[in-house]
A and B are shown apart, each in its own frame.
Chain A
Amino acid sequence: KQEVTQIPAALSVPEGENLVLNCSFTDSAIYNLQWFRQDPGKGLTSLLLIQSSQREQTSGRLNASLDKSSGRSTLYIAASQPGDSATYLCAVFNNAGNMLTFGGGTRLMVKP
């Protein structure tokens, strides 16, 4: 059974720092990996999707990498801002394309 782990579970940093959030998964037979942001009491907002054949994706200050063979992904946030405060979730799609398995999330607080 696929298991997804996110480290750290919580992170508090001053504004302006560059951050790395980690995601690991036990079964490398994935279809893709997706990073989400969740604000308190809200739904999930898609940040980046990395297909299994890709190594990385970038969107603005966000960069996500994928190493399928080692079962790891990282989300890099450059020049963090208080508005980045949220929970970040990574999820992997199985090869059947019908199920996302989620990590427990990293709760990020960026202090002004």
Chain B
Amino acid sequence: NAGVTQTPKFQVLKTGQSMTLQCAQDMNHEYMSWYRQDPGMGLRLIHYSVGAGITDQGEVPNGYNVSRSTTEDFPLRLLSAAPSQTSVYFCATTLDRDYTEAFFGQGTRLTVV
């Protein structure tokens, strides 16, 4: 089992460009979420999903969109990249509401110039 897979691992964008960060899991977990990690700010929740077709905002959702059409995939879209979105992005999954051990992907390092 691959667990939680994120692609790409590295990306450089120009200001104003759009892109999608991919997250796929083969653990059959219901819950999926996106975090960003910044020096001095720690990890912060961007968006999360408690199941296919259901998404909600986290702590820092502005500038990001998500959708969850399948249990396995939870892409994060940047519509118009800004330098403030330079960060390391992590996708995480948990089994369900009752068992919430979180598993993380290896991260996507994004630089917006």
Contact = CB atoms under 8 A, between A and B. Distances in A.
Given A34-B101, A43-B90, A100 B106 contact: no
Interface residues of B, number: 27
B104 A49 contact: no
Contacts of B26: none
A83 to B, nearest CB: 19
Contacts of B109: 41
Interface stretch (A60-68, A72-80, A91-99): A91-99
Looking at chain A, what size class is its interface with the partner chain? 20 to 34
Grouping DSSP codes into helix (H, G, I), strand (E, B) and loop, the B interface class, with mixed when no group exceeds half, is strand
Contacts of B58: 99
B21 interface: no
B90 A98 contact: no
Interface string A81-105: 0000000010101000111101111
B19 interface: no
- List the 10 shortest-distance A-B pairs measured between CB atoms, nearest first: A44-B104, A43-B106, A102-B43, A49-B101, A43-B104, A97-B97, A102-B42, A93-B100, A43-B107, A104-B42
